Amino acid sequence: MRKPSKSASPLTSRPSFSSLPYDVALNCLARSSRTQYPTLSLVSKRFRSLLASSDLEATRSLVGKPETCLYVWLNLNNKPCWFLLSETPNQQRKLIPIPSFPYKHSDTSTVLSVGSEIYIIGGGFGKHKRSRRVVVLDCKSHQWRELPKMHVPRNEAAVDVTEEGKIRVVGGCSSRYVNSDKSGEVYDPKTQTWEPLDVGVEASLVSSRLRCEGGHKPWKRVVGLKGKTTNHLVSVENHVGGMRKTVLWWLESGPKTQIWCAEVSLVPCPSGKIERSTEWSENVFTFQGCESDSCFVLHSTLVTHEH
């Protein structure tokens, strides 16, 4: 009696991702959201290798898929850590920790995102001590590196970015520097150097949206999400067309502490009122214990990947 061929066997395994050619596998991952990478890296060694490959960034560039990711710096039981808001395969949102901040922590540093990088500028250390330190996180590789120090120590300085991609820093310095040529400076990523900020430019910045004194805090308390605690912390805003999106963070206490996150759309109406709608609201992290909810969120920022 003739045996059935292997091709006709019902036990023949189905094609899997691991059997795909290298270029095809890269193309598939390049079309996936970056927020899914932490979860995908747990699938297998091959996934981790592909996600760490420089070829993946080149493939994403060819695909040309821009994406915005949300990062948050949490202080959980006095243990500061950066997290990425990640999407699981079943489309749930969860906070995934990224490599630990390898420097001394300050909750009064200024945080700024430029492209796919997050800058942490200055900060206070002890009584009346300011820092010249500048650290950057590459959000593509999740690697930290230290940049050249500022000329002047600063704490809670105000920042903005020029059209040329230079970073302007104003204030947060000792009173002896205010109204001097050292009250502001600008960083050029191309030359990796700090230069004094032009007095005329600095004056226009301070009079508009940057402040030279008093620091710069992005948080304020609001009320509004039905059925939740009334203490919400307003985070980053993202403008999409005529619509403004705001991210909220808050804690819910119980046997375990839950961190909740929500995205709220704010749309101006012809009547002059602002129409608000909640896009989504989820428990994104659960942990044991919480000493205080007054400063559990240190910073939050949106990072834009052009490809």
Contact residues for 33 (Cβ-Cβ < 8 A; gap 6+): 67, 87
Q: For position 208, what pLDDT does the model report?
A: 39
pLDDT at 136 over 90: yes
Most confident of 30-34, 38-42, 95-99: 95-99
Q: For position 101, what pLDDT does the model report?
A: 87
Over residues 30-39, mean pLDDT: 75
Q: For position 230, what pLDDT does the model report?
A: 45
Most confident of 21-35, 42-56, 135-149: 135-149
Is the overall model pTM greater than 0.95, yes or no? no
Alpha-carbon span 246 to 303, nearest angstrom: 14
* More confidently predicted of 247 and 212: 247
Over residues 61-81, mean pLDDT: 81
pLDDT at 180 over 90: no
pLDDT category at 144 given cuts 50, 70, 90 is: very high
Cα angle value 157/293/261 (rounded, 5°)? 85
Over residues 169-183, mean pLDDT: 80
Q: For position 284, what pLDDT does the model report?
A: 93
> If you average pLDDT over every residue of the chain, what do you get?
76
pLDDT category at 257 given cuts 50, 70, 90 is: confident
**Percent above pLDDT 70 for the chain:** 74
The residue written with tokens 């001590």 in the block is: 129
Contact between 169 and 162 under an 8 Å Cβ cutoff? The reply is no
Cα angle value 301/303/307 (rounded, 5°)? 170
pLDDT category at 176 given cuts 50, 70, 90 is: confident
* DSSP code for 98: -
Q: For position 31, what pLDDT does the model report?
A: 78
* More confidently predicted of 77 and 118: 118
Supply the Cα-derived Rg of the chain in whole angstroms. 23
